[in-house]
Structures are given as C-alpha cells and as structure tokens.
Amino acid sequence: MLDFSRTTAELLRQVRAFGDFECAAVVNNVTFFIHRAEGWVESHGFAPGSLIYSQAEQLLVATGDGMLLISEWSLYGPDAVTGRGRR
C-alpha cells in the first residue's frame, strides 16, 4: 500500500520494487492498483494523497515532498478476472 505522506523517493522505490505485481493506493477514497509512476520533489500546499490533475490515463497525486505521476494503473487487483489482458 502506498502512503503518500512519505517522500517521493521512497514511493518511487516502492513502485519500482513491486510495480510488476502492482502497488495498491487510495486516492479520493478509490483504491487504485499502480504498475508504473514517475515523480519529482516540489514545494506545494496540497495534502499528501490529493489528486491534483488527471488527463487520459494519468493521475498526478501530491506526496509528502513533491508529486507522483501515475501513468499505468487499474481499478482491478492483479487477481481479478476482467476479460481484458493486463498491459
């Protein structure tokens, strides 16, 4: 489970380590399963875990010390049968 109050570097390390299996995260009371993300350190006034922006399939979420751009995610866990193949 990703904890957005942690640093961006810690979150990126966790996504790199477990992204092939997917990391769970809650954004706006919705559970997402994250496969790939990028991030950077940036000063901001947003609460960690706030959804800042979304476009197409990308979600920008505030972290404790910056931003995390989630580029590959699903609403279904890795064990769910959905009728669609995973990317």
Q: Tens of pLDDT along 46-69?
A: 999 999 999 988 999 999 999 999
Residue of 20, 1, 16 whose CA lies nearest to 78: 20
What secondary structure does DSSP assign to 33-79, as a single string? EEEEEEEEE----SPTT-EEEEETTEEEEE-SSEEEEEEEEESS-TT
pTM here? Answer: 0.84
pLDDT > 70 in the chain, percent? 87
